[in-house]
Chains A and B, each alone.
Chain A
Amino acid sequence: MTPETPKQNIHEYLAELDDIPGTRIYTAARARKGYWINQFAMSLMKAENRARFKADERAYLDEWNISEAAKQALLARDYNTLLDLGGNVYFLSKLFSSDGLPFAEAVSTMTDMTWPEYRQMMLDGGRSPQGNRSIKGGY
């Protein structure tokens, strides 16, 4: 028999997910908001779509049910804004690779570091969890 475990309350569960500094957990609310951003990104898995997107990014984006703010963020490759608008990094990574950008370099654009600084931080052991675990708790 498995021991009884208290089942989590969804509201408390979701509140905790919002208590992590510099992080947007991909909750159902974000997934709903960013649905077409992510579906657009997914379409770039097909070579013919990548070619059409590269030929005229704006025209390709206009085929999708995406807000103007999200289109601007996509054109600018402003990934933090895209996370706020419900984008998810695994979907957005189709745009990284369409741009020919290594995953880690694209990720570094979401931090306050340059790509060489970010790469050096990773070689030095990565970002410490110290002080980065909780907004409310500050630990």
Chain B
Amino acid sequence: MARITAGVGSSHVPLLGVAVDQGKWQDDYFGPIFKGYEWTREWEAREKPDVVILVYNDHASAFDANIIPTFAIGCGEHYKSADEGWGPRPVPDVEGHADLAWHIAQSLILDDFDMTIINEMDVDHGLTVPLSMMFGQPEKWPCKVVPLAVNVVTYPVPSGNRCWALGEAIKRAVESFPEDLNVQIWGTGGMSHQLQGPRAGLLNREWDNKFLDMLEADNDDLRWIPHIEYLRETGSEGIEMVMWLIMRGALGTKVNRLNRHYHIPCSNTAIGHIVLVPD
């Protein structure tokens, strides 16, 4: 039986990808950030997940303004790194797990989640930066990936409650997959940041850390935080943190925290990451 063994929440700031690709990750600016991920990289090397369900948002790369799926699951065999205007990141192709992805997609639809299925797409920094942060620069990514793209751009985006419930349904779906697989789920994006308008540059260390505290807690209070609170407190792009709730919802009621790190700033953004395992 497949099982979800851990959940990771992490920012996916594109500049971190640039730092990796250009070898700047030890300099004064990026050093403290990458140091914060050091434990997690070593832990991932030991854990060797077979598959990561990677919850992220597409930043106008695979999806344009035409089609806006709220929840979309990648069921393909492989995905290439997207050209976001600079040329594609020089990272390995991402290998999908089509059998598991289709199983999850079908299970979720029967479980009342109206998923969009994607067979072919390119994946942008939202997906490849977390892979670089967790796995460094291997010639080939050490696991397969099931991309799960969430609309957090065009409003209304899905509620915290809906994201959490989707995580719960993903847990049920994974546990009904017959093959013995070590599956992790990662929720990415955030933490506080605003990339637009005169209020750009807003960061909120206190709120972000409250959010991390709540992720570790043995309750599901996080699912009831309304969008407006994320927007007021953490900036317009801080809403990406709802994607972490999909990860958290898939871990069950009680979790143990293995690692947690927070750093300000990276570009416009507060960087955070957390590693949780089901109790």
Is B60 positioned at the interface, with any CB of A under 8 Å from its CB? yes
Given the known interface contacts A90-B59, A107-B201, A127-B203, the answer about A26 and B155 at a Cβ–Cβ threshold of 8 Å is yes
- How many B residues have CB within 8 A of the partner chain? 48
Chain B interface mostly: loop
- How many A residues have CB within 8 A of the partner chain? 62
Q: Which of B94-108 contact A (CB under 8 A)?
A: none
Distance from A5 Cβ to chain B, minimum over Cβ atoms (Å): 6
Chain A interface mostly: helix
- A122 engages B204 (CB within 8 Å): no
A41 to B85: give the CA distance in the assembly, Å.
10
Distance from A118 Cβ to chain B, minimum over Cβ atoms (Å): 6
- B201 engages A126 (CB within 8 Å): yes
Is B140 positioned at the interface, with any CB of A under 8 Å from its CB? no
**Told that A13-B228, A35-B65 touch, could you supply 10 new A-B pairs with CB distance under 8 A?**
A5-B224, A20-B232, A26-B153, A28-B154, A39-B65, A89-B195, A97-B85, A126-B204, A132-B199, A133-B232
- A83 engages B60 (CB within 8 Å): no
Given the known interface contacts A23-B197, A31-B65, the answer about A126 and B267 at a Cβ–Cβ threshold of 8 Å is no
Cβ contacts under 8 Å, B205 to chain A: 125
CB 8 Å contact bits of A15-37 with B (1 = contact, 0 = none): 01100111111111001001100
Greatest chain A CB density within 10 A among B199, B207, B236, B270 is at: B199
